[in-house]
Amino acid sequence: MPTNPLQGAQFVLAAHRVQQLPADEGAEVAFAGRSNAGKSSALNALTGQKGLARTSKTPGRTQQMVAFSLPTVLRGETSQPLETRLIDLPGYGYAKVPDALREHWRHEIDRYLHVRRSLRGVVLIVDIRHPLKDFDRMMLDFCLGTVLPCHVLMTKADKLSRNQASQALAALRKDIGANTPVTMQVFSAPDGTGVEEARIAVMRLLEGQERNT
């Protein structure tokens, strides 16, 4: 069994605004997705820690930007050691929150994506059983427009047969286009489908080049 490079992740803080996040240095990967897409379960499966990210039967419980530190230290382009993090962005969509708070998070997520120099890529969580939603397409368009690497986890694959999951993956590839830098895979937290592949993808994002904002 390969060593899990994401094991040992630790909660650092929950931020209501971008400026409250850890210092903008090192390398981090953001996890984004609609409120019911299984983002917390994916984070827990990838880090091998069941209670790291809070899961709930009520969608939209993540209403802050949550930073987790990783034990993995990478070498930067100048051979300096880089601290690494995962950032859990607020779930978007079904959260039963006031319009003012919803607008606040739309603004803060947009600002985060534009200003964080340490952001190396985005893991976009989508439910394999449903077509891409407006938020999913907005996130993909942003990543493509700013050349920010994006890896799509098509979660809840255990709800489909293997053939259905393969068809859904093929349909998404056709939808997004074969000539884009977006990568994607089938994933299931409960049965472990694609977990090791996703860990490799997250590390590949962390090891990517520093962005120019």
Q: Compute the C-alpha angle 34/147/142, nearest 5°.
A: 35
Q: Which domain holds residue 116?
A: 10-206
DSSP 17: S
| Residue 212 lies inside a defined structural domain of this protein | no
Distance CA 123, CA 201 (A): 9
Total domain count, the chain: 1
Contact 155, 40 (CB under 8 A): no
Q: Could you tell me the CATH number of the domain that includes residue 143?
A: 3.40.50.300
| Residue 162 lies inside a defined structural domain of this protein | yes
| Residue 22 lies inside a defined structural domain of this protein | yes
Reference 150, options 174, 187, 176; nearest CA is 176
| Residue 73 lies inside a defined structural domain of this protein | yes
Half-sphere exposure of 111 (CA within 13 A, CB side): 13
| Residue 3 lies inside a defined structural domain of this protein | no
Mean residue pLDDT across the chain: 88
pLDDT per position as a tens digit, 10-51:
999 999 999 999 999 999 999 999 888 999 999 999 999 988
Percent of the chain with pLDDT over 90: 64
pLDDT per position as a tens digit, 59-111:
444 578 999 999 888 876 667 788 999 999 988 765 566 777 778 888 899 99
| Residue 138 lies inside a defined structural domain of this protein | yes
| Residue 183 lies inside a defined structural domain of this protein | yes
> Model's pTM, two decimal places?
0.92
Rg (CA), the chain: 16
| Residue 18 lies inside a defined structural domain of this protein | yes
